[in-house]
Amino acid sequence: MVGIKNRQVGMEKSIVTTFLVGCITLGFFCLFSVYLPTQLKRSQGTLPVTTISVNASPTLTDVINQLSPLPQGPEKLPAAMAFPTNEESNADEEMNSMMMEDFDDNAGEEIYYAGSKTHRSKISKSKRVSKKARPVKAVPPEVANQYPLRIYEPLEEALSRRYGHGFVVTESLRAPFEFWRNVYARYDFNRSVLHDNRYLDIVYGVLDFSKLDENLTLSKEEKRAIRQGVEERKKQELRTMLLRFDNGESPKTAGEHIVYRFFEKSSDPNKFRKAAERVRSQWGQRDRFMAGLTRSGRYMPLMEEIFIREGVPKEMTRLVFVESMFTLNAISKVAAGGPWQFMPGTARGYMTMNEYVDERRDPLIAAQAAARLLLKNYSHVGSWPLAVNGYNTGILRMVKAMQRLGTRDIGTIIHRFEDSGYQFASRNFYPEFLAALEVADHYRGYFGNLEMQEPIPFDEIILPYNTSLPKLADTTGTDVNVLKDLNPAYNERSFLSQTVVPRGYIVRVPHQQKVAFLTALNTIQAEERSAKWHMVGKGESLKNIANRYQIPITLLKAANGLLSHQIKQGQILKIPSAPTEVVLETR
């Protein structure tokens, strides 16, 4: 009995002990789950309030230069400030990432273009760019503080808003038109404009990276990383402010009141949360637009003639500035190429693309293709503004927008049409075109007098024979670089000495030298027909062989593409002879 009683007492003590342990555990759980998170939220989840003295009517400078800094932590941002990963945000960031390569006035340099062309509707699934956000390396606050967000100072509103053929800046298009006009004509490549990516009349400020660009101790990659890091930190500061407003906090500083008032007219209860997801940066393009205008002087008159001949308004040639800033070898990360940024699949319906030529790189050939595509677009929608927008997003998407909204009004479609393939780039393409048209046609008012490249006259010949272009240049005494310049569609491989361009291809030659080049082609062909061949024997030299066949040693070297007198046993040499006839070009 005693043993049983002792066991009962022991069980009672165990139950009491277990109960006490449970209570203590529950107490600690409550402490960690309720009290500590509250303290963490107070210390990390909100920004310290900065009191600033302002005049009765504060300016945006008060917001920008005195925004509260991000709470500092171990290389980690609060969850509420995580970089948005929705498709539209990533597509927006991708546009600026395509402008990372340093700009060069040389139109032949390959760069990633600065425009908004993505041709999403023309890209196969296997070639689509990943939507995953690129990681941005964090910059220390002391570095970010060297680049304060400054006031946005736009140009005075444009006086002219009507350009014919339905190209009118209506009130619904005013904000995006003015935004892009300032991007093209007000801010250069070293400025980043932070703005709302849906409502372009909401501009938070401008970052100036001129000093960073002038720093000779940093590499391009280091400058790029700093710029991206600073931009991201500034955008996160703005996002955090907007999220605080979304959580019900009232603005406390004059600067916060200014940002708050951007959204006063909106009745959307989630306006601040949505705005936090739409903060975007846009790099200025004033210097690039000026360089593109300078290059355009060489081709624009002929391009306008091509558009008029194809039945397309000549004003639409200004699309080339939106696409590539008139960079001949512009290549996008989705393989759109040339000044008109044709995707390969679309280009093959209008131009030649093979091992010898890529006619997308020829501004005149590509202009004709662009005119025909725009005319085809117009036949589907009966509206030039919609035809322009369809050049970027695909004309079938414009047809869908018309049918869904019951309108052809481009302003209504831009503001109201919702589609997964109609995001920032597509929505802004037509306003960008209007802005480019305004700036290009009134460039003296924006840039002063620019020294335009002069049009270079040329003639065209149809190759009657398979021909080596370097040999053609050499035979006519023409610098091969002249042929390269006149024929941007031909790739570098076409100008190798061992490459033969097939008969029937068109080659541009200097003006009034057509007969000379046709005669040279005949000379080359006659040499090929009457050529003899010689296998180099043991101990033979180039001089011995030239003497044997009674031809100049220089001619022997040229015929075989030799740079020196060195030959080896067993090598086959072509022995050229003089031409005997002339064959002129026929079409």
Does any domain span residue 464?
yes
Profile the chain (587 residues) by mean pLDDT over runs of 10 residues: 46 55 55 41 33 32 39 31 35 45 33 33 37 68 91 91 91 97 98 97 96 94 95 96 96 86 94 98 98 96 97 97 93 90 94 93 96 98 98 97 97 97 97 98 96 95 93 95 96 88 94 96 84 85 90 83 85 69 44
Residue with tokens 């009995």: 1
Give whole-number Cα distances, 179 to 93, 186, 306, 514, 560, in Å. 17, 10, 31, 48, 59
AA letter at 530:
S
Beta bridge partners of 162: 168
The CATH number that applies at residue 510 is: 3.10.350.10
Q: Same domain for 88 and 183?
A: yes
Beta bridge partners of 206: 150, 193
Closest to 128 in 3D by CA, of 302, 333, 369: 333
pLDDT at 175: 97
Separation CA 585–CA 583 (nearest Å): 7
Backbone CA torsion sign across 458, 460, 463, 464: negative
**Boundary residue ending a domain (447, 478, 500):** 447
Does any domain span residue 112?
no
Separation CA 481–CA 490 (nearest Å): 12
Q: Check residue 84 and report its DSSP letter.
A: P
**Boundary residue ending a domain (447, 474, 499):** 447
Tokens of 540: 């033979």
Beta bridge partners of 443: none
With vertex at residue 142, the alpha carbon angle to CA 138 and CA 147, rounded to the nearest 5 degrees, is 85
Q: Same domain for 280 and 295?
A: no
Q: Same domain for 336 and 463?
A: no
Does any domain span residue 8?
yes
Domain limits for position 562: 459-575
Q: Same domain for 282 and 299?
A: no
Q: Same domain for 280 and 314?
A: no
| Strand 506-510 with 458-462, pairing | antiparallel
Does any domain span residue 5?
yes
Q: Same domain for 157 and 244?
A: yes
Q: What is the CA radius of gyration of the chain?
A: 33
Residue 430 near residue 177, CB atoms below 8 Å: no
Closest to 433 in 3D by CA, of 173, 232, 86, 93: 173
Q: What is the DSSP string of 491-516?
A: -GGGGSTT--BPTT-EEEEETT-HHH
Helices (H), 406-458: 410-416, 424-441, 443-447
The CATH number that applies at residue 443 is: 1.10.530.10
Separation CA 156–CA 199 (nearest Å): 19
pLDDT at 39: 39
Q: Same domain for 427 and 349?
A: yes
Q: Same domain for 521 and 415?
A: no
Q: Check residue 9 and report its DSSP letter.
A: H
Does any domain span residue 551?
yes
Does any domain span residue 75?
no
AA letter at 425:
A
Q: What is the DSSP string of 235-246?
A: HHHHHHHHHHHH
Q: Same domain for 306 and 220?
A: no
Q: Same domain for 276 and 314?
A: no
Residue 563 near residue 542, CB atoms below 8 Å: no
CB-CB neighbours of 109 under 10 Å: 14
Instruction: Give the distance from CA 313 to its chain's centroid.
Output: 25
**Boundary residue ending a domain (241, 259, 287):** 287
Separation CA 179–CA 157 (nearest Å): 10
Residue 259 near residue 417, CB atoms below 8 Å: no
Residue 63 near residue 255, CB atoms below 8 Å: yes
Q: Check residue 460 and report its DSSP letter.
A: E
Count of domains forming the chain:
4
Q: Same domain for 124 and 269?
A: yes
pLDDT at 558: 77
Q: Give the chain's end-to-end CA distance (angstroms, integer).
A: 124
Residue with tokens 């060195």: 566
Does any domain span residue 586?
no
Max intra-chain CA distance, the chain: 135
Strand, helix or coil at 399? helix
Q: Same domain for 253 and 298?
A: no
Q: Check residue 415 and report its DSSP letter.
A: H
Phi-psi region of 540 (alpha: psi -120 to 50; beta: other; left: phi over 0): beta
Separation CA 405–CA 414 (nearest Å): 11
Does any domain span residue 580?
no
pLDDT at 19: 58
Which string of b and e fits 168-194 if b means at least 16 CB within 10 Å? ebeeebbbbbbbbbbbbbbbbbbbbbb
Burial of 499 from C-beta contacts in 10 A (0-12 / 13-18 / 19+): middle
Separation CA 504–CA 465 (nearest Å): 8
With vertex at residue 211, the alpha carbon angle to CA 209 and CA 215, rounded to the nearest 5 degrees, is 115
Separation CA 559–CA 434 (nearest Å): 55
pLDDT at 549: 86
